[in-house]
A and B are shown apart, each in its own frame.
Chain A
């Protein structure tokens, strides 16, 4: 006959009860912290973001220091070279890498300067990864101390609107991307109204009536953002079986590779 030990079940039951009580306590603490942040206007999250911003800045400085040595650039390319040319090649590649980086940064800052001439604002570095956020947001290294305001428009170096400032701290700000997944934006392409739906990464799709005069390369503007450009049409495919043309639009700049953005002041 099979016998069970009742004391073992009592012990397990007590452990389970204790486990659930701890879980309930944890849940309560999480809810309390969240409510405290809401009531205090985001004090908790701002503290976390400020601390993380410092970490990101330090990480970026270390990365730049490593890149400036040319170590990363030269290592892969020199693997296939023979020993005699290795030292000489490394020197040349280091110079070329440094020159290329300087030219690229110069060009970037020049385009920012052109933007600044048209509209007053501030050029801010992107300090977070574009891939890390599940909500289509990213951080820039400028905040209220630099005159950044909630709701300000954020432009790519070529002048396309890529987002809005949604939260501002003293030295960092959270940018809500225009084309974050599932976000919608009313826009115009050659006077054809489009209801763009974001897909992340600076891409969006829309349905235009079949036969609409929308072509690849058309600039898409948003009347609600002062008629500023937000994307270019990347593809316009008419489905013979449907009554619409599927329009794909994208920000010309590679969003994931942006190092600086331009934030319009006084928005």
Chain B
């Protein structure tokens, strides 16, 4: 299941609408301590975000995925560890 979600996240980052990798990141972060989640976020930003340091180049997906894995850590610890 974990590999399937990672595959959905990676393929979704390349060809699917933007909400697909978000779903994969959330699903991975809820159930597992998934290092893959921030990597998927990073992949989305590396693919689609213009390079540079400006307000127009804020890596929202990387930041969002890091926030999600940290935010969901207590939930995961409470129910799955």
Chain A residues packing against B (C-beta within 8 Å): 12, 15-16, 19-20, 22-23, 26-27, 29-30, 33-34, 37-38, 41-42, 44-45, 48-49, 52, 55-56, 128-129, 131-135, 137, 166-167, 174, 176
Contact = CB atoms under 8 A, between A and B. Distances in A.
A135 B41 CA distance: 13
B81 A52 contact: no
Nearest to A33: B42
By Cβ-Cβ distance, the 7 closest A-B pairs, closest first, are A134-B18, A166-B50, A45-B46, A133-B48, A42-B51, A26-B35, A30-B38
Interface in B39-74: 39, 41-51, 53, 59-62, 66, 69-70, 73
12 contacts: A16-B81, A20-B73, A23-B69, A23-B70, A29-B35, A30-B39, A38-B51, A41-B51, A132-B13, A133-B18, A133-B48, A176-B50
Contacts of B46: 37, 44-45, 48-49
B7 interface: no
Contacts of B60: 134
Contacts of A48: 43, 46-47
A29 B59 CA distance: 15
A195 to B, nearest CB: 17
Interface string B12-35: 011111100000000000000101
B29 to A, nearest CB: 10
Interface centre among B38, B59, B62 (most CB of A within 10 A): B38
A262 to B, nearest CB: 20
Interface size bracket, B side: 20 to 34
Interface of B: 13-18, 33, 35, 38-39, 41-51, 53, 59-62, 66, 69-70, 73, 76-77, 81
A19 B73 contact: yes
B36 to A, nearest CB: 9
Contacts of A55: 14
Nearest to B65: A30
Contacts of B73: 19-20, 23
* Interface residue SS majority, chain B: helix
Given A33-B42, A34-B62, A132 B50 contact: no
A23 B71 CA distance: 11
A66 to B, nearest CB: 16
Contact of A19 (B44, B62, B81): B81
Given A26-B69, A134-B61, A19 B50 contact: no
A49 B17 contact: no
A140 B66 CA distance: 30
A27 B38 contact: yes
Contact of A132 (B14, B38, B76): B14
Nearest to A132: B15
A69 B44 CA distance: 34
Contacts of A30: 38-39, 41-42, 62, 66
A27 B33 CA distance: 12
Contacts of A38: 51, 53
